[in-house]
Amino acid sequence: MNEITKDLLREISDWDGEFKGAYNIREDGQCAGRVSSKNIKIESKKDKPGLEIFIAPGTKGETVSIPACVTHGDVDDLVYNDFFVGENADVIIVAGCGIHTETGEPARHNGIHRFFLGKGSKVKYLEKHIGKGHGTGLRSIDPVTEAELEEDSQLEMDTAQIGGVDRTTRITRAQLGARAKLLIRERILTEKDQNAKTDFKVEMNGKDSGVDLISRSVARDDSHQEYHSVIVGNAPCTGHSECDAIISENGKVDAAPELHARDNDAALIHEAAIGKIAGEQILKLRTLGMTEEEAEATIIDGFLS
Partner 1 sequence: MLRLENISWSTPDGVGVLNNLDLTVPDGKLIVITGPNGGGKTTLAKIIAGIYRQDGGKIFLNDRDITEADITERAKMGISFAFQQPVRFKGITVRRLIELAAGEKLPLDKICNYMSRVGLCAEEYINREVNSTLSGGEIKRIEIATVLARHSVLTVFDEPEAGIDLWSFTNLIKTFEDIRKNLDGSIIIISHQERILRIADEIAIVADGSIKAQGKPDEMMKLLLENNSVTGKCFKQEEMF
Q: Which is nearer to partner 1, 31 or 278 (CB)?
A: 278
**Rg of the Cα trace of the chain?**
20
For position 48 contacting partner 1 by CB under 8 A, the verdict is no
Residue 212, exposed/middle/buried by CB under 10 A (0-12, 13-18, 19+)?
A: middle
Minimal distance, residue 280 CB to partner 1, in Å: 5
Minimal distance, residue 251 CB to partner 1, in Å: 18
Q: Which is nearer to partner 1, 256 or 278 (CB)?
A: 278
Q: How far apart are CA 230 and CA 103, in angstroms?
A: 39
Which residue in the set 30, 38, 61, 305 belongs to the binding site for partner 1 (CB under 8 A)? Answer: 305
User: How many whole angstroms from its chain centre is CA 189?
Assistant: 13
Q: How far apart are CA 45 and CA 85, in angstroms?
A: 17
For position 183 contacting partner 1 by CB under 8 A, the verdict is no
Q: Where are the alpha helices (DSSP H) in the chain?
A: 3-12, 279-286, 292-303
CB neighbour burial string for 105-125, b if at least 16 within 10 angstroms, e if fewer: ebbbbbbbbbbbbbbbbbbbb
Q: Where are the alpha helices (DSSP H) in 135-287?
A: 279-286
Which residue in the set 10, 58, 286, 297 belongs to the binding site for partner 1 (CB under 8 A)? Answer: 286
Minimal distance, residue 244 CB to partner 1, in Å: 7
Which residue in the set 30, 46, 47, 302 belongs to the binding site for partner 1 (CB under 8 A)? Answer: 302
Q: Are 134 and 102 in contact (CB under 8 A)?
A: yes
For position 44 contacting partner 1 by CB under 8 A, the verdict is no
For position 280 contacting partner 1 by CB under 8 A, the verdict is yes
For position 272 contacting partner 1 by CB under 8 A, the verdict is no
Site track 207-246 with partner 1 (rule: CB under 8 A), x = hit: ---------x---------------------------x--
- The residues binding partner 1 (CB under 8 A) are 216, 244, 278, 280-281, 283-292, 298-299, 301-305
